[in-house]
């Protein structure tokens, strides 16, 4: 692809983009359509944007498709989202396999409809990690606080079994960042570099709190169904101008 940089050559070190897919409801309301029509258009846009991501050599994207708080929405809207996800995981599967898109899903999947759970299992198994050009991490029934609690629970259980096996010094060793990260749903994805929030709200909404500790956050009023290739270029250009110091000082100081 002309102009595309290989990841290894990317000067901006942009490896992981996270997007909050916000604004579908407003997009639909503006047109006198139902909110579900807005989610449908949001899903179409994701199809289009996945193609574009492939050309950019960005290896990881995370997409906030359904939060742990979204259960508060009307049942019809929620079941519309499951339908779209089922459709995506089934109908786009071959395309993902052919194009090297690995489907990963992060979140508490046990509460999802059985059909969606099996569509996810098949999609992530068939789109192998090894030759992936792009990992698309769908965050579904995802919330960062839930994720961190889940990770802490797993670590506690591991420590208990170490203790029971008489490995006392391992059982009481302090938990470090690497260990906690490895228990997050998103593991082994790297930290988020750029978080994009279409729809104009300046909130993180319980999305990838741990992983975005040093992410640059780009907010745009453009609604997700209208967030196209040009808008993504704009966000990346903005990101490239940021001076990421990670708590240190800039090179020019
Ligand atoms: C937020 O917009 C969006 C959601 C809660 C759902 C996002 C889901 C999709 C894009 C479809 C899922 C399917 C695939 C294939 C990813 P909102 O409803 O809060 O919009 P509003 O703020 O304008 O009301």
CA atoms within 13 A on the CB side of 96: 26
C-alpha of residue 56 to centroid of ligand 1, in Å: 24
Ligand 1 pocket check for 23: Cβ under 6 Å: yes
- Residue 8: predicted pLDDT: 53
**From the CA of 24, how far away is ligand 1's center (Å)?**
5
- Residue 134 above 80 pLDDT? yes
- The mean-pLDDT minimum among 66-75, 120-129, 137-146 falls in 120-129
Q: Label residue 1 by pLDDT band (50, 70, 90).
A: very low
Question: What pLDDT, on the 0 to 100 scale, is given for residue 243?
Answer: 82
Strand segments (E) across the chain: 16-20, 60-67, 101-106, 134-142, 194-198, 216-220
Q: How far apart are CA 101 and CA 85, in angstroms?
A: 16
Of ligand 1's listed atoms, the one at least distance from the Cα of 84 is 13
Among 229, 237, 231, which Cα is nearest to 52's? Answer: 229
Picking from 80, 68, 203, the residue whose alpha carbon sits closest to that of residue 148 is 68
Active-site residue, 243 included: no
For 182-236, the pLDDT digits (tens) are 999 999 999 999 999 999 999 999 999 999 999 999 999 999 999 999 999 999 9
Residue 166: left if φ>0, alpha if ψ -120 to 50, beta else—which one? left
Question: What is the pLDDT, as a whole number, of residue 2?
Answer: 43
In terms of pLDDT, which residue wins out, 71 or 2? 71
Residue 5 has pLDDT above 80, yes or no: no
Q: Catalytic residue among 12, 70, 86, 226, which? A: 70
Eight-state DSSP code of residue 250: -
The yes-or-no verdict on residue 7 having pLDDT over 80 is no
Tokens of 64: 């906030």
Tokens representing residue 145 in the block:
């606080």
Tokens of 200: 């104009």
So what's the pLDDT on residue 4?
53
């Amino acid at each position: 692809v002309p102009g595309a940089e290989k990841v290894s050559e990317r000067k901006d070190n942009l490896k992981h983009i996270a997007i909050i897919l916000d604004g579908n409801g407003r997009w639909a309301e503006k047109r006198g359509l139902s909110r579900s029509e807005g989610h449908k258009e949001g899903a179409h846009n994701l199809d289009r944007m996945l193609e574009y991501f492939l050309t950019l050599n960005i290896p990881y994207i995370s997409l906030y498709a359904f939060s742990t708080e979204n259960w508060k929405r009307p049942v019809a809207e929620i079941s519309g989202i499951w339908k779209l996800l089922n459709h995506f995981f089934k109908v786009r599967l071959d395309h993902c396999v052919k194009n090297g898109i690995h489907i990963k899903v992060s979140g508490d999947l046990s509460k999802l409809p059985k059909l969606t759970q099996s569509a996810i299992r098949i999609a992530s198994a068939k789109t192998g990690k090894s030759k992936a050009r792009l990992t698309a991490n769908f965050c579904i029934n995802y919330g960062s606080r839930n994720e961190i609690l889940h990770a802490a629970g797993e670590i506690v259980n591991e420590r208990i079994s170490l203790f029971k096996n008489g490995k006392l010094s391992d059982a009481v060793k302090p938990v470090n960042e690497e260990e906690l990260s490895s228990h997050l749903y998103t593991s082994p994805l790297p930290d988020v570099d750029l978080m994009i929030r279409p729809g104009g709200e300046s909130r993180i909404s319980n999305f990838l709190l741990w992983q975005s500790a040093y992410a640059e956050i780009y907010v745009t009023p453009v609604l997700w169904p209208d967030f196209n290739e040009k808008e993504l270029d704009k966000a990346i250009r903005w990101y490239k101008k940021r001076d990421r110091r990670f708590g240190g000082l800039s090179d020019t100081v």
